[in-house]
């Protein structure tokens, strides 16, 4: 549940555009049949090339060597194309591009320079979009009235004013027109110590005639340092749209960063189960690749590369590849080959034999404040810092510290529990179509692909992955009237299946692939890897809605199919330690500001009877449990008849979230441990548990409520308690070790500490 939600779930980078070859489009009929998917103009493709990132993917198309803004009118006034492989360091520099009008109206096209902030990751500047704010940069643009101008994009108080900056104008400046072909040239020149002069010219390309010129002097050099984007702007809902081609940059003041290019392969996800390898190859949305054959080659001990499997790029711009008879005793290098050649590589590791390290990740949000809305970044708690819109304090993407910290543990497996993105971040939710989904999901894969290219990964999807604030799937049915509390999905079956194909298509084969209602697929499964038996359940898909008729008479949690699956799993791999992977916790482990239990039906504390039945089956299988979703890190021993006769479940802290939760029971609990808020607890549904460790925010809920009486949203990561989990499984010592780490920790530092209460060691005998 994110900051925008209310509480009812808690019962409430020279670069030439022509260098990006124009692709041949398969045709409109080849598009997914997703109801909300807008079709691109004929002969176009959404992917602009590996040097660019479009905000948003659905707002831009590449056609006949041009980048065309195809966005519909609306309040996302500025559409941007970030130039990933170039930055501006100072003077001298020259940036030029051809531009023209696609649709007349109030607007402008041109450059956005100096995006991002000095301390933020360079790729974060790729997300600069409509709203102005800290790190937004300077517009150097050609207005519809024919005048070139400079405008501000850093105003936190007036994020859509784009105020004109002072400049000296010259030239006749005739109004812009359809059919124009204009060279827009920006020169950045030294202008004294620490300052530069900006000169922007619009030149009619056929005649070489100067149309308009603007000069702005005395600009602080720091204001132009940073990222570079192209912009097409529509003012006053006029429908203005513009095109670009042949971008060129030169001069010592231009930074070159070829390593920041993205695509054509975005990344890979793979899993191993027995001798079968399953892999998803994700490509950028280039229509030339729709239906293309993707080959994965593997390198043998003789050094020769051989075909190891192939697949066709389908819905979601993914190719799914299955390879049998996979060797388990050695690492196997692989490479992904597209029709254009080798595009990506990685290594499938040897299956571990001396225990396992499992990393648990959940809930990663690209930004706290959206980049297309008016929001406040003012400090909202004592000790908190301003959240400048395009600063590292607000833009969490590309999660480099989180991914880097996880990588230091050298995990044998990644488990991704859900909410790989939030439908409201970095931009507000759009129509549920392929490109809207990919715009948000690709930020996650881009961030973690250096891990997933070499580490087996199991992915679950949760509510935000399917564009819902909460999800009670009710066996796959459509939510009546869109009311999620009645149970069901607000998206079409095609949309849900798209998301499952992209994120979960590489998981081990499902136990029983029979679809649920409307043909929505399932992925619950069990498999053995590294001497450990794993089960994956789908907490949300079968669960009835709290306002449905069945909620009172026959509420469902996992459903009969998954309960029978758990009974089957109990008899499988009898000599192996067992780990169950789920989306959320099986109790409502949070409280209000007074310390009283909160009845959150989004958790699996409800419904209680099938909850107890599921926990009994998990206990009988001899399993420990890993989960996500709650943002709040907890380690609990569930209770059935007593406070500690059920399985242990570790819910890892969220990776980067907005919505805050607390577990702060009033008074000391019976059987309290060495850290606060541990001991016996009964949740709001009557479920018993033994709290073993908890990761609360650094501020109490009571303190928070003084400043946020009606919202749980908070953005300052310096005060939040975010991170990830590690589970170490040691068969020789017969121990599980649970670890909880901060997102920015350096576990290689001998002085690094985990969150209080961790590590927690559990003997196999005490499962």
What 8-state DSSP symbol labels residue 48? -
Half-sphere exposure of residue 621: CA atoms within 13 angstroms, side-chain side: 31
Pair of tokens at residue 632: 């709040």
Pair of tokens at residue 234: 């529509």
All structural domains of the chain: 46-260 (2.60.120.200), 265-348 (2.60.40.380), 358-766 (3.60.21.70)
Rounded distance, CA 447 to CA 455, Å? Answer: 14
pLDDT per position as a tens digit, 245-277: 999 999 999 999 999 999 999 999 999 999 999
To which H or E segment does residue 551 belong? helix 550-553
Residue 591 has pLDDT above 90, yes or no: yes
| 618 backbone dihedrals φ, ψ, rounded to 5° | -70, -40
Task: Provide mean pLDDT across the span 616-628.
Answer: 98
Task: Provide mean pLDDT across the span 715-731.
Answer: 97
Reported confidence tier of residue 6, pLDDT bands at 50, 70, 90: very low
Rounded distance, CA 110 to CA 80, Å? Answer: 10
Residue 30 has pLDDT above 60, yes or no: no
Task: Provide mean pLDDT across the span 327-335.
Answer: 95
Mean pLDDT, all residues of the chain: 94
For residues 42, 47, 50 and 53, what is the CA-based torsion angle, rounded to 10 degrees? 130
Reported confidence tier of residue 22, pLDDT bands at 50, 70, 90: very low
Alpha helices in 156-300 (DSSP H): none
Reported confidence tier of residue 73, pLDDT bands at 50, 70, 90: confident
Residue 23 has pLDDT above 60, yes or no: no
**Burial annotation 462-488 (CB, 10 A radius, 16+ → b, else e):** bbbbbbbbbbbbbbbbbbeeeebbbbb
- Quickly count: other Cβ atoms within 10 Å of residue 559's Cβ: 21
Nearest to 390 by CA among 444, 426, 439: 426
pLDDT per position as a tens digit, 486-498: 999 999 999 999 9
Residue 41 has pLDDT above 90, yes or no: no
pLDDT reported for residue 2: 39
Strands 254-256 vs 78-88: parallel, antiparallel or unpaired: antiparallel
Strands 341-348 vs 195-204: parallel, antiparallel or unpaired: unpaired
pLDDT reported for residue 39: 57
Rounded distance, CA 308 to CA 322, Å? Answer: 9
What is the widest separation between alpha-carbon atoms in the chain? 86
Rounded distance, CA 32 to CA 11, Å? Answer: 37
What 8-state DSSP symbol labels residue 493? H
**Residues 6 or more apart whose Cβ sits within 8 Å of residue 496:** 466, 476, 489, 520
pLDDT reported for residue 19: 29
Rounded distance, CA 61 to CA 44, Å? Answer: 6
Rounded distance, CA 457 to CA 507, Å? Answer: 8
HEC readout, 696-746 = CCCCCHHHHHHHCCCCCECCCCCCCCCEEEEEEEECCCCEEEEEEEECCCC
Reported confidence tier of residue 75, pLDDT bands at 50, 70, 90: low
pLDDT per position as a tens digit, 488-533: 999 999 999 999 999 999 999 999 999 999 999 999 999 999 999 9
Nearest to 664 by CA among 695, 642, 638: 695
Enter the pTM of the model.
0.94
Q: Distances in Å between the alpha carbon of 405 and those of 402, 451, 724, 726?
A: 5, 11, 9, 11
- Quickly count: other Cβ atoms within 10 Å of residue 442's Cβ: 23
Task: Provide mean pLDDT across the span 416-433.
Answer: 96
């Amino acid at each position: 549940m994110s900051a925008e939600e209310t509480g009812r779930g808690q019962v409430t980078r020279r670069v030439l555009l022509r260098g990006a070859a124009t692709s041949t489009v398969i045709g409109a009929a080849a598009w997914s049949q997703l109801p909300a998917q807008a079709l691109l103009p004929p002969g176009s493709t959404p992917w602009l090339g590996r040097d660019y990132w479009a905000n948003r993917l659905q707002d831009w198309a590449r056609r006949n060597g041009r980048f065309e803004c195809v966005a519909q009118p609306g309040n996302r006034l500025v559409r941007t194309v970030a130039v990933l492989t170039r930055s501006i360091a100072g003077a001298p520099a020259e940036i030029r591009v051809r531009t023209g009008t696609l649709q007349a109206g109030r607007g402008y096209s041109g450059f956005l320079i100096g995006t991002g902030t000095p301390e933020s990751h360079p790729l974060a500047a790729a997300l600069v979009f409509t709203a102005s704010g800290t790190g937004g940069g300077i517009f150097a643009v050609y207005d519809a009235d024919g005048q070139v101008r400079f405008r501000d994009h850093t105003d936190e108080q007036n994020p859509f004013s784009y105020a004109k900056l002072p400049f000296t104008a010259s030239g006749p400046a005739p109004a812009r027109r359809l059919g124009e072909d204009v060279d827009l040239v920006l020169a950045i020149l030294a202008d004294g110590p620490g300052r530069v002069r900006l000169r922007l010219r619009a030149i009619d390309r056929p005649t070489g005639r100067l149309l308009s010129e603007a000069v702005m002097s005395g600009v602080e050099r720091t204001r132009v340092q940073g990222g570079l984007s192209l912009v097409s702007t529509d003012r006053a809902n006029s429908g203005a749209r513009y095109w670009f081609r042949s971008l060129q940059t030169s001069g010592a003041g231009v930074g070159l960063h070829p390593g920041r290019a993205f695509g054509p392969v975005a990344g890979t996800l793979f899993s191993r189960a027995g001798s079968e390898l399953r892999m998803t190859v994700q490509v950028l949305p280039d229509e030339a690749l729709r239906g293309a054959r993707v080959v994965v080659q593997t390198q043998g001990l003789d050094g020769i590369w051989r075909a190891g499997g192939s697949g066709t790029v389908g819905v979601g711009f993914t190719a799914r590849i299955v390879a049998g008879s996979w060797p388990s005793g050695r690492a196997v290098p692989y490479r992904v080959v597209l029709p254009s050649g080798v595009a990506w590589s990685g290594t499938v590791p040897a299956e571990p034999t001396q225990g396992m390290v499992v990393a648990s990740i959940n809930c990663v949000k690209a930004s706290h404040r959206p980049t297309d809305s008016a929001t406040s970044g003012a400090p909202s708690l004592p000790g908190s810092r301003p959240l400048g819109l395009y600063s590292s304090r607000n833009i969490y993407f590309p999660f480099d510290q989180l991914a880097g910290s996880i990588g230091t543990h050298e995990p044998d497996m990644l488990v991704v529990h859900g909410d790989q993105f939030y439908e409201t971040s970095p931009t507000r939710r759009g129509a549920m179509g392929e490109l809207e989904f990919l715009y948000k999901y690709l930020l996650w894969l881009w961030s973690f692909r250096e891990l997933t290219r070499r580490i087996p990964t199991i992915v679950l999807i949760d509510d935000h992955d399917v564009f819902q604030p909460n999800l009670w799937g009710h066996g796959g049915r459509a939510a009546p009237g869109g009311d999620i509390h009645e149970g069901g999905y607000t998206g079409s079956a095609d949309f849900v299946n798209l998301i499952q194909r992209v994120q979960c298509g590489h998981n081990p084969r499902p136990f029983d692939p029979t679809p649920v209602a409307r043909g929505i697929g399932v992925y619950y499964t069990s498999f053995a890897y590294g001497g450990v038996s794993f089960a994956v359940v789908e907490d949300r898909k079968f669960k009835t809605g709290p306002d449905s008729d069945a909620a009172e008479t026959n509420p469902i949690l996992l459903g009969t199919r998954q309960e029978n699956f758990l009974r089957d799993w109990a008899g499988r791999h009898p000599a192996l330690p067992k780990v169950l992977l789920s989306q959320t916790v099986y109790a409502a482990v949070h409280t209000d500001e007074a310390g009283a239990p909160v009845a959150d039906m989004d958790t699996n504390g409800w419904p209680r009877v099938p909850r107890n039945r599921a926990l009994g089956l998990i206990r009988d299988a001899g399993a420990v449990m890993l989960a996500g979703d709650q943002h709040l890190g907890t380690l609990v021993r569930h209770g059935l008849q007593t406070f500690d006769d059920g399985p242990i479940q570790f819910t890892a802290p969220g990776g980067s979230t907005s919505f805050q939760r607390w577990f702060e029971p009033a008074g000391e609990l019976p059987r309290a441990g060495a850290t606060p808020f541990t001991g016996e607890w009964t949740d709001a549904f009557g479920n018993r548990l033994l709290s073993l460790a908890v990761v609360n925010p650094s501020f109490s809920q009571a303190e928070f409520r003084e400043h946020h009486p009606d919202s749980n949203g908070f953005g300052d990561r310096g005060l939040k308690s975010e991170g990830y989990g590690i589970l170490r499984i040691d068969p020789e010592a017969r121990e599980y070790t649970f670890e909880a780490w901060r997102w920015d920790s350096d576990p290689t530092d001998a002085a690094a500490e985990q969150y209080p209460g961790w590590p927690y060691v559990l003997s196999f005998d005490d499962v």
